[in-house]
Chains A and B, each alone.
Chain A
Amino acid sequence: MKNESDKQHVFDNPRNVRLVVRVLIVCCVILLLADLVIHRHVDNPLEALFGFYAFYGFVACVVLVLLAKEMRKVLMRNEDYYDSVDD
């Protein structure tokens, strides 16, 4: 078992983690550029904007996380909040 825990795994190496992030960035760039090449058929005027889905996806997630962080300030309690009988 000792060997097992000492073994180097894929993401123990920070280079591999950086690689994943880089691949992700390259994919994003390719997908954004694909908007120029592939003509998306459009049902809604917003869709016609260049990179609408890319932009919307990114902003949506950032807004989601930032708002959720703010929510914590109001809503977060101890883990045993409901377990304690007294207030």
Chain B
Amino acid sequence: MILWTTDLPPFVLFYAAAFAALYLRGWWRSVVMLLVPVAGGIHLAGVADGTALHLSVLGFELQPYRVDALSRLFGYLFHIAAFIGIVYSLHVKDTRQQVSALLYAGSALGAVFAGDLMTLFIFWEMLTLSSVFLILARDTERSRSAAVRYLVIQILSGVLLLAGALLWYQKTGSMAFTFIGIDNVAGLLILAAFGIKCAFPLLHNWLTDSYPEATPTGTVFLSAFTTKVAVYALVRGFPGTEELIYIGAVMTCFPIFYAVIENDLRRVLAYSMINQIGFMVVGVGIGTELALNGAVAHAFNDVIFKGLLMMSMGAVLHLTGRINGSDLGGLYKSMPWTTTFCIIGAASISAFPLFSGFVSKSMVMSAALDGNHQVVWLMLLFASAGVFHHAGIKIPFFAFFYKDAGLRPGEAPPNMLIAMAISALLCILIGVFPSILYGSLPFAVDYNPYDSSHVLAQLQILFFSAAAFAWLKLSGIYPPELHSTNLDFDWTYRRFAPQLISRITLLMNTMYQGLRNAVRRRYHALLYKLEQHNGPQGLLARSWPIGSMALWVAILLASTLSLYFITG
């Protein structure tokens, strides 16, 4: 087969399948969609590290395809995520969503295998353009406006990347995507671009705004690709950048407060996603081999377990039409399998020993301790307890247990269950046999997560967090789930700025009106005066008959004469 060469970049297969999906119908389309990630994954396994494509365009030396250990790991990850997502959405018969999901997965693969900044930029924008349809496909007023905001912010990220890339080229004469660093303007622009997609604090609201508004299946794809491409890009371009340690630490902590009071369970997961990315960003910032391995491994695990949690909530939304914690409860009775899978995802994200999160998160924690970042380490520990609290307990508790909301939707469709089962299996496999993952990490691993100190410490944190939850819940201190909107930074551009602009417009309007009225009044006054003197009745506009002229001349002469006589 002519396409089956090692030089074939993985995105080509996905783009071709997206094109094919436009014309295929029914189960033919399903078969093609399922085969693509499988074939692509097998193909990738046969490609040697160091494989690269070179291209010269308009004098730029580009490298649209580059395989090394780091990009390969993300390559495998995205093939797995795409496969799971496709299985999960097999029941969907919406060409728009299916085509955009394939394009989206392909763009993510294109981005992680991009060897130069220009190729990265192209796929960076393709990620945005393809994924926005997964939000729009929900077809609600909210999803439409969220999609527009998503588009604007993501395109801004692309523009920053392009500007940074061009400056970088001007400075170094090379477009190659390697270490960049922040000691120059180009680096800062590129970091800002990555930071938007990575959901850095204050740049994060596109994520919590748009992901919960996407379709049940769309969110599963969304949660896998965009942010992880950004984490990959950070690992490639900014390892060991100290500022990232603090940015990451803030990212682990602040979203968990929002997650506790948020009612929409998919939005809770969106906040918890920022928290997990925070761990990765800290790892990138520390920049040691252990830390970078931890960041990458955690990105890998996060895609699987966050995907699993998103799938379980997607199933709930799909079957009940509800997603707010306040409207759910007791679903374990009719959805036992979904409940089980959700709990496995919850255990993984909470980093329970024997589940995937544990073997990767503890690497970042250990790296923070090794580097003597005591405050950061305490923040990460706080965040670890917090993530168990809101994602590990809150999600399954309010959806599947707690008060019975009387919903009996029945179990999720088989394809959803299979997708969740695959993810759950991966969570446990990686947790029990971490060497599966450790063997593919970019640096050699000399790390054992299962020593007694780590396990005991982690179990103590988790069980006492659970005890805290139980105590707060039983004593009634725990805040109830309420229908509400919680203001976050997006308030500045969704409410404050529009209001400010409308106020300024109003003010300027009033001022303009005032000015116009004042000018008008003066003008009318002037007109009136002119009319008085020069109008038809005006003194200066009267016609003077010759008789009166002669009279006046006679009067003038008479008075001159009399004056002459008087003074004479």
Interface residues of A (CB under 8 A from B): 1, 4-5, 7, 9-12, 21, 24-25, 27-28, 31-32, 34-35, 38, 40-44, 46-47, 51, 53-62, 64-69, 71-72, 74-83, 87
Contacts and interface: CB of A to CB of B under 8 A. Distances in A.
Interface string B407-423: 01000000000000000
The B contact surface, by secondary structure, is: helix
Report which residue of B258, B385, B462 has the largest number of chain A beta carbons within 10 angstroms of its beta carbon. Answer: B385
A62 B478 CA distance: 9
A61 B453 contact: no
A44 B369 contact: yes
Given A44-B374, A68-B261, A31 B486 contact: no
B465 interface: yes
A68 B189 CA distance: 34
A66 B460 CA distance: 21
Interface in B283-309: none
**Which 3 pairs from chain A and chain B are nearest by CB?**
A61-B468, A57-B461, A68-B260
Contacts of B370: 43
28 contacts: A1-B408, A7-B333, A10-B332, A21-B474, A24-B463, A24-B467, A24-B470, A25-B467, A34-B456, A57-B461, A57-B462, A58-B464, A60-B385, A60-B386, A60-B465, A61-B385, A61-B389, A62-B468, A64-B389, A65-B478, A68-B258, A68-B260, A72-B261, A75-B488, A76-B487, A78-B484, A78-B485, A87-B499
B470 A58 contact: no
Interface in B350-399: 366, 369-370, 374, 377-378, 381-382, 385-386, 389
Interface in B405-454: 406, 408, 451-453
A5 B408 contact: yes
Nearest to A64: B386
Contacts of A74: 487
Contacts of A28: 463-464, 467
B142 A83 contact: yes
Interface in B507-561: none
Given A43-B370, A44-B374, A67-B257, A54 B464 contact: yes
Contacts of A78: 484-485
A53 B381 CA distance: 9
Contact of B479 (A42, A51, A68): A68
Contact of A79 (B333, B374, B484): B484
B482 interface: yes
Given A65-B472, A77-B486, A54 B385 contact: no
Given A35-B456, A51-B460, A53-B461, A64 B484 contact: no
Interface string B312-355: 00000000000000000010111000000000000000000000
A76 B486 contact: yes
A24 B466 contact: yes
A67 B465 CA distance: 16
Contact of A9 (B332, B458, B494): B332
B177 interface: no
B470 to A, nearest CB: 6
A20 to B, nearest CB: 9
A23 to B, nearest CB: 10
B69 interface: no
Given A28-B467, A43-B369, A76-B484, A60 B381 contact: yes
B401 interface: yes
B257 A58 contact: no
B211 to A, nearest CB: 16
A19 to B, nearest CB: 12
A1 B406 CA distance: 13
